[in-house]
């Protein structure tokens, strides 16, 4: 059974600081997704990572994928308050592309 | 419409009642997914449609849950004899299956509360 774990579960950080969220998964998968969720809102797609060594960047967020280690990271550079949200990684669960989500990381950026 | 829409946005019902939740995917998207998200958790897969057929219903928790997509567009998730444990946000997502990226785009969800 494919399992996805994120850490930390909660991250409080100051504006301007850097930090990394980790996503580990238990079995081989071809695709990994990062989503953002604001309180009471739905999920917004951030990144799709399709191959080993893939790196994608958007603004202050950068995601990478190491399929051999079954690890993805979401790196936050010089955090700003607007980045406060819950971040989920999700792994493609097989032929039907159903997504298996991690438990999420609640990010709170303090001024 | 531009995105996935879901109705109602909120549904409050009593234990034992029947409910229907509707999803209208992005136009042209052939793949449609239902997920359930409990408070403080990530979404959990329920069922997947490719066109009109349910290609994977392995996530449905029991036979009280059923979903249809008769014309390959709008889908309805049906829950019979609701229980308090069914309370959650039910999310619908669609994707195009035209590219390897296959990003799933999520709707705003239906918050179901079973009293």
> Which residues are CB-neighbours of B92 under 8 A, at least 6 positions away?
B4, B6, B23, B25, B32, B33, B34, B35, B75, B77, B106, B107, B109
Position B1 scores a pLDDT of 52
Contact with chain A for residue B7, Cβ under 8 A? no
* Nearest CB to B104 within list A99, A100, A104: A99
Chain A: residue whose CA lies nearest to B49: A96
CB B59 within 8 A of CB B45: yes
| Whether the predicted pLDDT of A32 surpasses 70 | yes
Q: Give the pLDDT score at B60.
A: 96
How confident is the model over A56-102, as pLDDT tens digits? Answer: 999 999 999 999 999 999 999 999 999 999 999 999 887 778 999 99
**CA R_g for chain A:** 13
The pLDDT mean for chain A works out to: 93
User: What is the pLDDT at residue A111?
Assistant: 85
Strand B88-95 with A32-37, pairing: unpaired
Mutate to test the interface with B, among A1, A25, A54, A98 (most CBs of B within 10 A): A98
Q: How far apart are CA A95 and CA A99, in angstroms?
A: 11
pLDDT of A38 over the 70 cut: yes
pLDDT attached to residue A27: 86
- Residue count of chain A: 111
Helix (H, G, I), strand (E, B) or coil at B73: coil
Q: Would you say residue B23 has pLDDT above 80?
A: yes
């Amino acid at each position: 059974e494919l399992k996805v774990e994120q850490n930390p579960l909660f991250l409080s950080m100051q504006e301007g600081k850097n930090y990394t969220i980790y996503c580990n998964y238990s079995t081989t998968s071809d695709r990994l997704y990062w989503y953002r969720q604001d309180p009471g809102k739905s999920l917004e797609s951030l990144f799709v990572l399709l191959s080993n060594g893939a790196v994608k960047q958007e603004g202050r967020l950068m995601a990478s994928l190491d399929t051999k280690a079954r690890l993805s990271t979401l790196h936050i550079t010089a955090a700003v308050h607007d980045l406060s949200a819950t971040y989920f990684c999700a792994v493609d669960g097989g032929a039907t592309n159903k997504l298996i989500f991690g438990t999420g990381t609640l990010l709170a950026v303090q001024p | 419409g531009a995105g996935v829409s879901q109705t109602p946005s909120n549904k409050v019902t009593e234990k034992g009642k029947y409910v229907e939740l509707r999803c209208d995917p992005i136009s042209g998207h052939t793949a449609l997914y239902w997920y359930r998200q409990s408070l403080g958790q990530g979404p959990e897969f329920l069922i997947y449609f490719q066109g009109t057929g349910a290609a994977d219903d392995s996530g449905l928790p029991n036979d009280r849950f059923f979903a249809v997509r008769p014309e390959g567009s709008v889908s309805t998730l049906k829950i019979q004899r609701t229980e308090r444990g069914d309370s959650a946000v039910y999310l619908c997502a669609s994707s195009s299956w035209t590219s390897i990226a296959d990003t799933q785009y999520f709707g705003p969800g239906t918050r179901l509360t079973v009293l």
